[in-house]
Amino acid sequence: MLEVNSRPAPEPDRSHFQTGLSIAEAARRTGVSVHTLRYYERAGLVVSAVGRTAAGRRRYQRLDLDWITICTKLRATGMPIRTIRRFAQLISAGDGNEQERLALLEAHRADVTAKLAETQKNLQLIDHKIDVYRSRLAAGDASRLWAPHREADAR
């Protein structure tokens, strides 16, 4: 998993970014759209500036792709954009805020765990309904399955 070295690195030579991936290649490798990559950058969700060529074209490095993957996983599990932005800001700020980062991740984990528990309860209901249908079909009395009749309900 990505661990970000918070020590500021010297400003890289622009020619270094010629070897990175284009935005289209980065989109293909991360599974997000070019639009999403641009949005992540505009919305402040990246932890370091994406490199650019002398012509101004984005060039993505391994660290960028790893961070984008983390962002997509956090979004897929329901983390709000503002929280991902805050997490990225904390990481970009460097040392000294690790406790706040941990608290942010633990709070998100608690939310995800609660949603998983609710989904598990819903799955149990679905499994029960499947069992009922299977047993009624096997018994040959599927007509006894719930089929509301509006006329009968009106009486």
- Per-residue pLDDT of 11-59, as tens digits, reads 444 444 458 999 999 999 999 999 999 999 999 999 999 999 999 999 9
Q: What angle do helix axes 34-42 and 23-30 make, rounded to 10 degrees?
A: 100
Q: Residue 18: what pLDDT?
A: 56
Same domain, 102 and 39: no
- The least confident of 5-9, 59-63, 131-135 is 5-9
**From CA 68, how far away is CA 72, in angstroms rounded?**
6
Same domain, 119 and 73: no
pLDDT digits (tens, 9 = 90+) for 92-141: 999 999 999 999 999 999 999 999 999 999 999 999 999 999 999 999 99
Same domain, 87 and 107: no
Same domain, 88 and 111: no
Q: Residue 56: what pLDDT?
A: 92
The tally of domains found in the chain comes to 2
- Is the pLDDT score of 145 beyond 60? yes
- The answer to the question of residue 147 being in a domain is no
Q: Residue 13: what pLDDT?
A: 47
Q: Residue 155: what pLDDT?
A: 54
Same domain, 22 and 79: yes
- The answer to the question of residue 148 being in a domain is no
- The answer to the question of residue 133 being in a domain is yes
DSSP state of 21: B
- The answer to the question of residue 20 being in a domain is yes
Q: Residue 2: what pLDDT?
A: 53
For 116, the domain range is 96-141
- Is the pLDDT score of 80 beyond 90? yes
Q: Specify whether the CB–CB gap between 136 and 142 falls below 8 A.
A: yes
- The answer to the question of residue 125 being in a domain is yes
Distances (CA, A) of 102 to 50, 107, 140: 25, 9, 56
Across the range 132-151, mean pLDDT stands at: 84
**From CA 102, how far away is CA 91, in angstroms rounded?**
11
Closest-CA residue to 129 (of 145, 118, 140): 145
